[in-house]
């Protein structure tokens, strides 16, 4: 996000398209969450063959996005006032910024999830046994990217900045809330994904 935008900034067609896509994704995720939470575990297990991959709504990536979206959106809403764009732009830009940042978080999660899947040769690695090393790698990749991104965008390019309320992590000198976001959300996400999978499988 660019903090140099003026308060009279107006959304153009690309921004409206991205915001509309985000709203559509929210609706799809809400429907999937209702489906995941309302069906009895035994019924879900009977409906799924041994692979656990029947239909797109059972794909690990879909489960990841479905559970991650509300977590990432809530975190972005909570930390957004600690970034200067909250104070330098109007509500239209703030709403767009929240959608844009949340979509970026989801993309990062998908990329690092697939990287671990490639190394594990298992798309459903989150549900397999021995998750600790892969879960640790999943988390560390997210933390590593965040450190790189915050240093690049805050200290080098000035794409965005912090307010005086943002706590700073010593040594790496980046905001504490984005650092904690990628330290805490990935393991919580994996725990929730496993908890909503009645019959964990080691499918490929």
Q: Tens digits of per-residue pLDDT, 161-200?
A: 899 999 999 999 999 999 999 999 999 999 999 987 765 4
- 2 in a structural domain: no
User: Measured between alpha carbons, how far is 78 from 49 in angstroms, rounded to an integer?
Assistant: 40
User: Measured between alpha carbons, how far is 10 from 15 in angstroms, rounded to an integer?
Assistant: 9
pLDDT for 198: 60
- 172 in a structural domain: yes
Q: Is 83 helix (H, G, I), strand (E, B) or coil?
A: strand
Average pLDDT for residues 79-105, to the nearest whole number? 84
Average pLDDT for residues 49-63, to the nearest whole number? 67
- 119 in a structural domain: yes
Domain count, the chain: 1
- 203 in a structural domain: no
Residue 60 domain boundaries: 13-195
């Amino acid at each position: 996000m660019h903090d140099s935008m003026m308060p009279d900034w107006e959304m153009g067609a690309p921004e409206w398209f991205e915001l509309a896509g985000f709203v559509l994704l929210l609706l799809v995720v809400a429907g999937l969450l209702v489906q995941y939470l309302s069906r009895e575990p035994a019924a879900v297990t009977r409906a799924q063959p041994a692979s656990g991959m029947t239909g797109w709504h059972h794909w690990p990536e879909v489960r990841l996005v479905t559970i991650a979206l509300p977590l990432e959106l809530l975190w972005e809403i909570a930390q957004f006032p600690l970034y200067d764009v909250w104070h330098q732009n109007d509500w239209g830009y703030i709403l767009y910024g929240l959608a844009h940042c949340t979509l970026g978080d989801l993309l990062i999660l998908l990329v690092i999830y697939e990287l671990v899947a490639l190394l594990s040769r298992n798309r459903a690695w989150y549900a397999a046994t021995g998750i600790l090393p892969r879960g640790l790698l999943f988390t560390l990749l997210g933390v590593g990217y965040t450190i790189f991104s915050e240093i690049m965008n805050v200290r080098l390019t000035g794409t965005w900045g912090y307010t005086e309320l943002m706590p700073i992590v010593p040594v790496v000198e980046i905001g504490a809330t984005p650092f904690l976001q990628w330290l805490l959300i990935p393991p919580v996400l994996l725990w929730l994904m496993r908890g909503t999978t009645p019959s964990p499988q080691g499918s490929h």
